[in-house]
Amino acid sequence: MTAPFPNLPPTPDTAIVWQSDSLYLLDQRDLPSVAKYLQLRSAAATANAIRDMVVRGAPAIGVTAAYGVVLAAREAFAENPTGWKQGIAARISRLRMSRPTASNLFWALGRMQQLIEQLSAERDPEAELLAEAVKIHERDVADNMRMGEMGAELIDGPTRVITHCNAGALATGGYGTALGVIRSAFARGSIHQVYADETRPWLQGSRLTAWELLQDGIPVTLLADGAAASLMSRGDIGWIIVGSDRIAANGDVANKIGTYGLAVAAKHHGVRVMVVAPTSTVDMQMASGQEIPIEVRGDDEVLGCGGKQIGADGAEVWNPVFDVTPAELVDVIVTEKGIVHSPTRKKLEKLITN
């Protein structure tokens, strides 16, 4: 249900909030024209919200799923106070299937599952699981701020940058990954202009990134996705800065569709590419990007826009949500544990194990 949210204004940094025994999500499908919260009180509703892109961005999906486990535990315990562990399993499975590409989803659910295994089967688990979900949320915000500072140190400015999709506070627990770097670099005076790809077909750049940057007073210019290469040819772009939904062991990066083409154009024009993501995004079980499952969504997202059909009747559609940028096109990966230049498996293994 749509619900008022009396204690906090709808801002990018308050997109995921637990209050009064409910999970509240700022509904990103309606931004920026309407800022409203969706109140969630079940694991199924949480899984649906993730699948339907009420919330999106790998870190935000992970945080949301952790809170979804709390709701799952409440339901399972109410059904069977001594057998709730059996009841919670199917609900967690539904959460797991909500978005297959986001590594943080599986990381967060894995962490919650580890705690479940330690809890008594005969005691209400909600309070302990909620405390763990809050820790995951708070850690994500702290990690984002740390990455923002580290990434900003790499930027000699003042310069202009391009970002793709939305990797800001809306896509995380708060502050942002790619936009966290941009926020920190802007505060330092290293970035003075941001170009945001519109990011078809969901227009996360137009709707979400532009809104976030404007909330912070950061100058933003929108680009049609196909305009980025031409802009780079002018020679005044310092960096491409993006987030990631999954990073393979060899440094290949899955991110919103269009990132690969942006990185290819950047290589041609000598523009450096920075990927900003927490280590929970790094999947050392995936040898390369070829193994990363790529979600494909419905035809209507490409054939229509804003509830109006724009595509020709009868046209077939290929609508992958993500693409994979090979590691050789990535100059640097910034994580909360440190920075990896020219990523390789050996470098990522060293980072993860430290």
DSSP code, position 14: G
Token duo for residue 248:
């393979």
Contacts of 197 (CB under 8 A, 6+ apart): 162, 163, 164, 165, 205, 223, 224, 225, 228, 258, 262
For 194-211, write each residue's pLDDT tens digit. Answer: 999 999 999 999 999 999
Residues composing the chain = 354
- Within the chain, all domains assigned CATH 3.40.50.10470 are found at 148-353
Q: What is the pLDDT of residue 268?
A: 98
Identify the CATH homologous superfamily for domain 148-353.
Translation initiation factor eif-2b; domain 2 (3.40.50.10470)
Q: How many helices (H) and strands (E) does the chain have?
A: 12, 17
Token duo for residue 217:
């007073």
C-alpha to C-alpha distance for 131 and 30, rounded to whole angstroms: 30
Place of tokens 């995380």: 172
- Within the chain, all domains assigned CATH 1.20.120.420 are found at 2-142
Domain 2-142 in CATH 1.20.120.420: yes
C-alpha to C-alpha distance for 128 and 229, rounded to whole angstroms: 50
pTM: 0.89
Q: HSE, CB side, 13 Å, CA atoms: give it for residue 303.
A: 12
Residues of the chain with pLDDT under 50: 1-3, 6
For 303-353, write each residue's pLDDT tens digit. Answer: 998 788 999 999 999 999 999 999 999 999 999 999 999 999 999 999 998
Q: CA 325, 263, 191: angle at the middle one, nearest 5?
A: 125
Q: What is the pLDDT of residue 8?
A: 61
Residues designated as active site = 245
